[in-house]
Structure 1
Amino acid sequence: MNAEMVGLSIILIGILLLIGKFIRVKFSIFQKYFLPSSIIAGFIALILGPEIVGSLFTRFQGENSIISNGVIHQDVLNVWTTLPGLLISVIFATLFLGKKIPNIKDIWLTAGPQVSFGQSVAWGQYVVGLLLTIIILTPLFGLNPMAGALIEIGFEGGHGTSAGLSETFHKLGFADGADLAIGLATVGVVSGVLLGIILINWGVKQKKTTILKDPSNLPKNKLRGIIEPEDRPSAGTMTTEPESIEPLAFHIAFVGIAILIGKGVLEAFTYLEKITWGNWTDIHIITHVPLFPLAMVGGVLLQIFLDKMDKFKLVNRKMILRIQGLALDFLIVSAIATLSLTVIAENFLPFLLLALTGIAWNLVAFIFLAPRMIPKDWFERGIGDFGQSMGMTAAGLMLIRITDSKGDTRALEAFGYKQLMFEPFVGGGLFTAASVPLIYQFGPLPILLLCLIIMLSWMGIGIFYFGKK
């Protein structure tokens, strides 16, 4: 793998994204369901790769066919395979960079109901996933018990988390888990957008929405994913003079520092585990935890430092979000492009059961728990959490913007605050990263009991505390 091949691989992802955007603009079916261009691009790459085109040519022309590996060179696929594990750290390092970290009281008062609902859904995904695994998937299909964490990793965590945990799955002897998780993330994103639009239409008809009355009247360019020229916001504020340092390069450097801090924290905890409980009990958890959740911790620590020391406010949140969005688009394309359909086909029934169980739980939680936990504007606030719980924070943001484009219900603000008490633990946070090693070390039953207790606790807070307000 040389530098030229790495460069070519990145260029090809860019071209695929342009093709995906062109398809999104030209075909209304993709506009109607707000399917991201990165998902379309990823599927194009998957079709052109060894799993579909390559497999078809191999079947009809034999393994010596010139296109037995698809039309994408194997070296390119090798580069794409490594990208998700690198880019996920960039995404998590940028979660809190560039925005002031509010105090816990402000977060709790504004976003407490959504924190309770979001945490209930996330821990519930572990509960239903582990129950399904213990009762059906392991006894009947012989699937590894670590599959009990796949719904939360794939749906709540999304493509980034699924791809980021690939090495952990391989280390613990469940290599198929990575492909199953990415497959679930893809199902989650697509079904999340589709079901989100269906739920919004249902909410309008049933008079559940406060603001939105008819989503079919959205402007054509809004459906195409194009911002009108007069409404285009700035991509970010230039906080440094380009002749001194390019602002984008300046911000990328801070993202790198956040990742480096996270790496230092991870190494420190790994060493601590090695000389303490790991040495005493031979139980190793931190060793199997990937870098990305600690990159988020690095971002928080760096932002706390900047809040106190950066009197010029040089780190701009909008610029950070553009870096985050770039990393996420490239991650999604490379993760889907290198997805193993063979693994999903070999485990199709377990995969289908996991997907259906995750979707069913998320729907039940939104319809029955959200109105009982969120006392005001429950639909606008809950629909964002539903979108996020299906695999993508961006999907949650999109659904909020559809239901409340002007921010009258403060759903967007509460959704943002909620992440500060949500992302550090689940949805790709510390417990998400540790869940597979924990199941590996202690078995599925103790982790099921732990998740059940936490889920019921959050449900109690949501229903009996916030729900009564």
Structure 2
Amino acid sequence: MDFSWKPVIDAGAISIALVVATFLRARLQFFQKYLIPNALTAGFLLLPVYNYLFPFLGYDQNKLGELVYHLLNISFISMSLRASSPKIKGHKGGGVLGMSTGILLGYATQALLGLALTLFFLPKMFPAFGLFLPLGFALGPGQAFAIGKGWETMGFSGASSIGLTFAAIGYLWASFGGVYLINHGLKKGWLKSELLSSMQNRTMLTGIVAREEEKPVGARLTTDNEAIDSFSFHSAAVLLTYFLSFLLLSAITMGLSLLGKAGRDLAVNLWGINFIFSSITAIIMRKIIEAIRVDHLLDNETLSRISGFSVDFMVAGSIAAISLVFVTTFWFPILLMSTLCGIMTTIIVPWFCSRMFRDYQFERMLMIYGVSTGTLSTGLALLRVIDPEFKTKVASDYMLSAGLTFLLAIPFILAINLPAQAAVQGTMVPFWIMMGIAFLYLVYVLVTYGILAGRKTLAQPASWWFTE
């Protein structure tokens, strides 16, 4: 019978690459030294396979990006369905607000840098090109692909592949730049050497739990397996929410279609940022679940496992989905922009964090640096180097700040299509509006930073790291 095996082939290829990458991390010191995520290694292993081997065999890679798109939305839903972190005693001193401010610092500075550099390549370059810096570095591969896919309908050929390329480069900065900051900080006395004891932890370095070690518990059962497997129930809850988000966006699309061509164009753009609507739907679902008092059926750890699965397969698949044909066409601006962005982020994150926070400055800096160049997983990986058991408030502060960051970032993400509209409308007005919005975000960040840093706001301005 004529069944489609494409989803199975894609899932199988990614799975093989993830398994191989896991063994490479366990055996080779290079991957351990720089804490290279297995999903990143898997993606680069698949890159030549999907660009050269599969096309030679007559296999099309175009649909791989659709897998990335759906996994992105599922990851946002599974995290948004989690119960809010309880308020922890001792969370004072602006830690939560500071973490949110640090993340938004990456959005604002990377957007301004990218848009400014784009001006040098106009009119040969698509006006929105530079926004792949915050999309790829601070937001991640899923968002870069989804929004890039929308830009392709607006005349930017290969935008999704270029967005994924920036995200892959961001991951490299997270790994190599993060390890450099740790070693440099140790050399300069920014952190104490005893904090690096976890670098001798074989489990963290190799990425696998040894045979003789006790296996940590990653999920709890909330249903009786005779009735329904607990993981099946949680997966159903996530996919049900995803279906509801699809219905929500479909209804919005129908309403916008009544407004004519402008409404239909806006609807197309909204599908590119479906992860926002998925998150909003999940937040509403969580409130309903709590209101009818069945929230005990959802286990945070199980939802985290679903999110982790989605992110690992999404990252590997996103890199494999890169079309090297488009990347080689724009190799110079990609290399220039990503290099300058990586250097800028590596400089400003330590500068701001060492002055903005009152406690755990280095730990908070590593977390923010990892998230500003990769994703939550890379931020946590860097934090684990000096806080392997998350005994500090940094990880919990970040989780508490996630909701605030999400709300504050919505206007930024909704406006991110404005430079693309400049190409469609033939006027640079939307481009300058986006630059103005990015500048306003920077103003907000600087004001908040000044409030949190106090007397340290401009202290030792020429010093990369503030020391008392």
**TM (normalized to structure 1)?**
0.87
DSSP-derived class of the 1:191 partner: helix
- 2:342 maps to amino acid: I
Q: Is the 8 A contact 2:196 2:386 kept in 1?
A: no
Distance in 1 of aligned mates of 2:391 and 2:454: 21
Distance in 1 of aligned mates of 2:291 and 2:450: 38
- 2:450 maps to amino acid: I
Distance in 2 of aligned mates of 1:48 and 1:312: 44
Question: Aligned residue for 1:349?
Answer: 332
1:187 corresponds to 2:188: no
1:132 corresponds to 2:117: yes
Question: Aligned residue for 1:16?
Answer: 17
Q: Is the 8 A contact 1:33 1:194 kept in 2?
A: yes
1:5 corresponds to 2:10: no
- 2:150 maps to amino acid: T
CA deviations over 1:231-287 (Å, ceiling 9, x no partner): 422121010011111111100111112223322332344445455xx5697795444
Question: Aligned residue for 1:116?
Answer: 101
Distance in 2 of aligned mates of 1:456 and 1:283: 33
Q: CA deviation at 1:177?
A: 2.0
Q: Is the 8 A contact 1:107 1:417 kept in 2?
A: no
Matches within 5 A, 1:149-188: 149-188=131-170
DSSP-derived class of the 2:18 partner: helix
Question: After alignment, is 158-167 or 335-344 more displaced?
Answer: 158-167
Q: 1:234–1:286: structure 2 CA closer, same or farther, 3 Å change rule?
A: same
Question: Aligned residue for 1:339?
Answer: 322
Q: Is the 8 A contact 1:286 1:434 kept in 2?
A: no
- 1:159 maps to amino acid: P
1:197 corresponds to 2:182: no
Question: Aligned residue for 1:450?
Answer: 437
Question: Aligned residue for 1:28?
Answer: 29
1:293 corresponds to 2:276: yes
Distance in 1 of aligned mates of 2:388 and 2:222: 29
**TM (normalized to structure 2)?**
0.87
Q: CA deviation at 1:348?
A: 0.9
Correspondent of 2:209 among 199, 203, 227: 227
Q: CA deviation at 1:112?
A: 0.7
Distance in 2 of aligned mates of 1:156 and 1:266: 25
Q: 1:355–1:370: structure 2 CA closer, same or farther, 3 Å change rule?
A: same
DSSP-derived class of the 1:145 partner: coil
Question: Aligned residue for 2:399?
Answer: 416
Distance in 2 of aligned mates of 1:108 and 1:160: 33
Correspondent of 2:354 among 368, 371, 378: 371
Q: 1:22–1:407: structure 2 CA closer, same or farther, 3 Å change rule?
A: closer
Distance in 2 of aligned mates of 1:84 and 1:249: 22
CA deviations over 1:399-449 (Å, ceiling 9, x no partner): 1111222334311111111211223454xx663364025642553211101
Question: Aligned residue for 2:76?
Answer: 92
Q: CA deviation at 1:225?
A: 0.5
Question: Aligned residue for 1:61?
Answer: none
Q: Is the 8 A contact 1:372 1:463 kept in 2?
A: no
Q: CA deviation at 1:186?
A: 0.5
DSSP-derived class of the 2:145 partner: helix
Q: How many residue pairs are counted as aligned between the two chains?
A: 444
1:207 corresponds to 2:189: yes
User: Can you give the 5+ residue segments of structure 2 that lack an aligned partner in the other structure?
Assistant: 423-428, 457-468
Question: After alignment, is 83-92 or 203-212 more displaced?
Answer: 203-212
DSSP-derived class of the 1:94 partner: helix
Q: CA deviation at 1:384?
A: 0.5
Q: 1:78–1:375: structure 2 CA closer, same or farther, 3 Å change rule?
A: same
Question: Aligned residue for 2:425?
Answer: none
Distance in 1 of aligned mates of 2:298 and 2:200: 34
Runs ≥4 residues deviating over 4 A: 106-110, 271-275, 278-284, 466-469
Distance in 2 of aligned mates of 1:326 and 1:6: 16
Q: Is the 8 A contact 2:39 2:313 kept in 1?
A: yes
Q: Is the 8 A contact 2:257 2:264 kept in 1?
A: no
Q: 1:468–1:90: structure 2 CA closer, same or farther, 3 Å change rule?
A: farther
CA deviations over 1:29-76 (Å, ceiling 9, x no partner): 11111111221121111122334xx5xxxxxxxxxxxx8x346x514x
Question: Aligned residue for 1:435?
Answer: 416
Q: Percent identity?
A: 21
Q: Is the 8 A contact 1:112 1:466 kept in 2?
A: no
